[in-house]
């Protein structure tokens, strides 16, 4: 029993419909407004990657994106992204530790606030 996604032209929303019979699906109706002017959408799908494929993708320099090694906030965001990409359990407090490091860095930036700006 698949779930199909539609765009309702009457209420202009994306809706998901459970199709009980694939062979005779019937006319779909919007569960929000009851409209019948629906356009079926392509649904997202996931592909399973092997560990080798995931590691290969991580090694791609193009995946570093906006990483700035001199910016702790940038490195922290990258660490969180890579941790979730690896799918490994990095511990319950990994995200909290990274967030705390970010907050400390922001606090430091605010207290220093251009301290070197008035040098001749």
Contact 100, 73 (CB under 8 A): no
| pLDDT score of 14 | 92
| pLDDT score of 108 | 66
Please check the confidence at residue 38 and state whether its pLDDT lies above 50. Answer: yes
Q: Which residues, listed in sequence order, are joined to residue 7 by a DSSP beta bridge?
A: 14, 39
Predicted confidence band at 118 (pLDDT cuts at 50, 70, 90)? very low
Sole residue written with tokens 């705390």: 100
Contact 43, 5 (CB under 8 A): yes
Count of residues for the chain? Answer: 120
Predicted confidence band at 1 (pLDDT cuts at 50, 70, 90)? low
| pLDDT score of 109 | 63
- Statement: the pTM of the whole predicted model exceeds 0.75: no
């Amino acid at each position: 029993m698949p779930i199909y996604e539609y765009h309702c032209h009457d209420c202009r929303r994306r809706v998901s419909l459970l199709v009980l019979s694939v062979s005779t699906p019937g006319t779909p109706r919007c569960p929000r407004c009851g409209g019948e002017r629906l356009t079926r959408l392509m649904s997202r799908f996931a592909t399973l990657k092997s560990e080798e494929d995931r590691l290969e993708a991580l090694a791609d320099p193009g995946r570093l994106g906006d990483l700035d090694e001199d910016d702790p906030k940038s490195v922290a965001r990258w660490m969180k992204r890579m941790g979730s990409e690896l799918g490994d359990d990095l511990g319950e407090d990994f995200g909290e530790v990274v967030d705390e490091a970010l907050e400390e860095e922001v606090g430091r930036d605010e207290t220093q606030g251009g301290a070197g700006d008035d040098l001749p």
